[in-house]
Amino acid sequence: MDHFAHRIDTIKNFIVMTLLEKAQELERKGINIVHMEIGEPDFDTPEKVREAAMKGCKAGKTHYTHSLGYRNLREAIAAYKKDSRGLGLDVDTEIMVTAGSSPGFLMTIGALVDPGEEVIVTDPGYPCYQNFIRFFGGVPKFVKIHEDERFDLNPERLEAAITKKTRMVILNSPSNPTGQIIPEKTLRKITDIILAHKDMWVLSDEIYSELTYTGSIAPSISQIKEMKERTIVLDGFSKFWAMTGWRLGYIIAPAALMEAMNKINQNFMICAPSVSQEAAIAALQCQKETGEMLRLYKERRDFIVNRINEIDDISMKYPPNGAFYAFTNFRKVSNDSLKFALDLLEKGHVAATPGIGFGENGEGYIRFSYTTDVKNIAIAMNRLERFLKEYVPKRNAPPTK
């Protein structure tokens, strides 16, 4: 029995997981690996969040919840978004709590994109976007972003990519893998483009929106009044609150679309985990804890950027303004980032993600996730520097006869 649904053939493997699994194989052989491949916070979930979950368990909060999520959590999310973004949200019709942000993508694409319709994504960009799109028969359209433009989404290239089949544009700010933030002036230009086309939506992935080094939350296209009926916001608790294993996210969307998406939710997901929802209510009160995590991320960001720019043949022209990724230019070293990443892992014992995993325009880059302490980052950069001193001469050596 080897016949599977054709839609499975449209989905590519997630390269970061391939690197992680190879790194784990080496570790089983006793080799020390510095992990900088996967985007998971190394911090434990704040204690008061864990306590809230245990309290919920003891109180019997272990049953199905409302399909949109506990109302008190939706109220807490609405208050948080009012305070941080000035958004006025109807807790009964415009917020849905989900089992992580990935179900949010599935529901959004499933409710809005018909087979053959196009969704615009950046190249480089988060690789799972195109898999969500293709799974429902949609067509990903790639718009290249470039380091010399700070990896900002160029509005002219965006507009040139739009056709009669374009249904949606996906924005990710701060970005995975570049860590760059889409500035407000760009968002306003994107708004003008979207409003000029009938029935076009923006899906704004804001999972890193609080994790910034600018002193304020990243601007969102949802804050532009005219975009309220055209924008879906996906957010969650995994990154900023160090709650990856709790699997909790949420969607903000217009009421009519939310009603359509909830049909998918009720049939396929039912509801988000009840205990995780109890924990999330407490998470939104953890300003002290998240502030300390953010301080340490910034310390790591500053260290790794400085260290990268000290090493010959690689560079990072613009430090990331958010998230926890150092998307590093290796184009002087290699035009095969997958092979380089595998060599670096096997011989240099540093696990990092090849830029090709984020799109063709990511070739020549390597993404380092600085979700480990400065001591480990220093070890990784020293190993990288030693590895490059051997790798570059070999690459430039004339072929043997």
Can you give the pLDDT at residue 267? Answer: 96
The two three-digit tokens of residue 393, written as one number: 């001469």
pTM (2 d.p.) = 0.94
For residue 278, the model assigns a pLDDT of 96
**Cβ-Cβ contacts under 8 Å for 103 (sequence gap 6 or more):** 249, 265, 269
Query: 6-44+288-391 has which CATH code?
Result: 3.90.1150.10
Can you give the pLDDT at residue 392?
76
For the chain, give the percent of residues with pLDDT over 70.
97
pLDDT band at 149 (very low <50, low <70, confident <90, very high): very high
d(CA 6, CA 9): 6
pLDDT confidence of residue 93: 98
pLDDT band at residue 10 using 50, 70 and 90 as cut-offs: confident
Least trusted range by pLDDT, from 63-67, 157-161, 396-400: 396-400
Given CA atoms 250, 251, 256, 262 in this order, what sign does their dihedral have?
A: negative
What confidence score (pLDDT) does residue 397 get? 54
pLDDT at 114: 97
- Contact indicator for 140, 246 with CB cutoff of 8 Å: no
pLDDT more than 90, % of the chain: 92
Alpha helices in 162-271 (DSSP H): 184-195, 255-264
* CB neighbours of residue 170 within 10 Å: 25
b/e code 214-248 from CB counts within 10 Å (16+ = b)? eeebbbbbbbbeebbebbbbbbbbbbbbbbbebbb
In the chain, what are the domain boundaries? 6-44+288-391, 62-285
Question: Region 229-237: what's the mean pLDDT?
Answer: 97
What's the pLDDT score for residue 401?
46
Mean pLDDT of the chain: 95
The H or E element that residue 201 is part of is strand 201-205
**Predicted pLDDT at 395:** 60
Q: pLDDT tens-digit profile of 111-121?
A: 999 999 999 99
Mean pLDDT for 341-356 is 97
pLDDT, tens only, 352-388: 999 999 999 999 999 999 999 999 999 999 999 999 9
Calculate mean pLDDT across residues 117-140: 96
Q: Residue written as tokens 């601007």?
A: 219
Q: Other CB atoms closer than 10 Å to residue 51's CB: what's the count?
A: 12
Q: Mean pLDDT throughout 146-170?
A: 97
> Is the predicted pLDDT of residue 297 greater than 60, yes or no?
yes
Structure confidence at residue 348 (pLDDT): 97
The dotted CATH code for 62-285 is: 3.40.640.10
Contact 120, 162 (CB under 8 A): yes
pLDDT value of position 44:
96
HSE, CB side, 13 Å, CA atoms: give it for residue 180. 24
Total length of the chain = 401
**Beta-strand pair 350-351/34-35:** parallel
For residue 172, which phi and psi values (nearest 5 degrees)? -140, 110
